Chain A
Amino acid sequence: MDKQVAGVASAKLEGLYEGLLNELLQYVDFQKLLYLRRICWRWHTVITSELVSYLPYVVFAMDLDSHRDDDDNQLWKLVDDIVVLVELPHTLLMFGCNKTIPPHQRLIETFWNYYDSKLDIYGRNSCPIQKVIYANTTVNSEAFCCDLVCQAGFQTVLYHCTLAFSS
């Protein structure tokens, strides 16, 4: 038996009230979070109901054609320096290069398109972004099925988000 498993037989995570369990789950990477819905009905309910998307900014961008004009190329130059992206309802913050993209959906979409194309060129293991954090929004889980999220390798964190599942 796994040593950690053996050592915690008496640990009762079921005893955590919903708010605390939800806080704990906020630290779990998004893909793992979806996986954890299989633990039991309680976890399924907490994860499904407590975690939602302004992901349209990001997700739908992947379905759009890129438009690489000069402004967009300037934006693309930022990518190499970015370690963490934080998506807030009105802003995309790029930590590492101290840049903020204003609430201009096309730019954000373009950014992600370029990021995807860069990975195509240099390989998925070249992913410079280590973490993407979504905060105060609704996240559509199916949006994460795209190749970019699955293959790029960055960690996705949801904070005060609600997770939406299509039926």
Chain B
Amino acid sequence: MSTAASSSTSETIAEPGLKIKVSTKEGEVFELDEKVAKMSQVIRGILEDLGEQNGGDDSVLPLTQVETRIFRKILVWLKYHAGHDKEEAPKAEEDEIIARFCEEIPEWDQKFLNVDQAVILEIMLAADYLDIKKLRGLCCKTVANILKTKTVEQIREMYGIENDFTPEEEEEIRKQTAWCEDEPPRQGSNH
């Protein structure tokens, strides 16, 4: 297991080969190994459209929706996973569902996502934009885990969500599912 998520990745990718240049919203240019870059389905798609021979020249792929500070974080994640993830054969739907909902978030990814929730959301949006399915899923799972422990009022406050229900509407919705809002009744074990 690696140590801190932010410090253990730079040495994990040392493969020589094609370099892909991308630029962030602010115009900062990053040079990525092809394997790392292609973990983004968007970048992969662009490269395929352009013809891969163009990836090695001075072309820069603009990632106009991703800020540099977020891209730096995503790059850490990409490099780590490019170096550590095994090539996987396509899974059957059942296996994919099991993996999606039953596998815990790996320790390295937990540390990586142990940041302010505003940052998690920004990473999630960037992962969505770049179409990095695994990272997007990890972010969603992390945020969902946080939601599970919060009340409606806390969630509204956390994420700046306005309560746009009238009191009557809110009461009506509450009544529909009032049964699920209480702690499930527990019966003692009989053994």
Residues of A within 8 A of B (CB): 2, 4-5, 7-16, 20, 23-29, 31-32, 34-41, 43-44, 84, 86, 88, 91, 93, 95, 121-126, 131, 133, 135, 141, 144-145, 150-151, 153, 157, 159, 165
Residues of B within 8 A of A95 (CB): 98, 102
Q: Is A8 in contact with B158, judged by CB distance below 8 angstroms?
A: yes
* B93 to A: closest C-beta gap in Å: 7
* A28 to B: closest C-beta gap in Å: 5
Residues of B within 8 A of A15 (CB): 121, 125
Q: Is B118 in contact with A34, judged by CB distance below 8 angstroms?
A: no
Additional A-B contact list (14), CB under 8 Å, known A9-B160, A26-B144, A122-B190:
A2-B150, A4-B158, A7-B117, A8-B118, A12-B118, A13-B155, A13-B158, A14-B159, A20-B128, A20-B140, A36-B155, A38-B165, A151-B187, A153-B184
In the complex, A88→B94 CA distance in Å? 8
How would residues 141 to 169 of chain B score, 1 for a CB under 8 Å from any chain A CB and 0 otherwise?
10111111010101111111111110000
> Closest residue of chain B to A1, judged by CB?
B157
- Known contacts: A8-B158, A24-B143. The answer to whether A151 contacts B191 by CB under 8 A is no
In the complex, A36→B50 CA distance in Å? 44
Q: Is B117 in contact with A124, judged by CB distance below 8 angstroms?
A: no
Q: Is B176 in contact with A2, judged by CB distance below 8 angstroms?
A: no
Q: Is B117 in contact with A4, judged by CB distance below 8 angstroms?
A: yes
Judge if B100 is at the interface, Cβ distance under 8 Å: yes
Q: List 14 A-B contacts (CB under 8 A).
A: A5-B150, A5-B154, A8-B117, A12-B118, A20-B125, A27-B144, A31-B180, A35-B177, A38-B174, A39-B152, A40-B165, A41-B164, A123-B189, A125-B187
5 tightest A-B CB contacts, nearest first: A123-B189, A27-B144, A13-B159, A8-B117, A11-B118
In the complex, A131→B101 CA distance in Å? 9
Judge if B124 is at the interface, Cβ distance under 8 Å: yes
Q: Is B162 in contact with A40, judged by CB distance below 8 angstroms?
A: yes
Chain B interface residue count, CB cutoff 8 Å, equals 55
> Closest residue of chain A to B117, judged by CB?
A8
Q: Is B190 in contact with A121, judged by CB distance below 8 angstroms?
A: yes
Residues of B within 8 A of A144 (CB): 180
Residues of B within 8 A of A10 (CB): 118, 160
Q: Could you say which of B160, B180, B191 has the most chain A C-beta atoms within 10 Å of its C-beta?
A: B180
Judge if B116 is at the interface, Cβ distance under 8 Å: yes
Chain B 83-104 interface residues, beta-carbon cutoff 8 Å to A: 93-94, 97-98, 100-102
Judge if B136 is at the interface, Cβ distance under 8 Å: yes
Q: Is B189 in contact with A8, judged by CB distance below 8 angstroms?
A: no
Q: Is A25 in contact with B97, judged by CB distance below 8 angstroms?
A: no
Residues of B within 8 A of A39 (CB): 152, 155-156, 161, 163
Q: Is A11 in contact with B121, judged by CB distance below 8 angstroms?
A: yes
Q: Is A84 in contact with B102, judged by CB distance below 8 angstroms?
A: yes
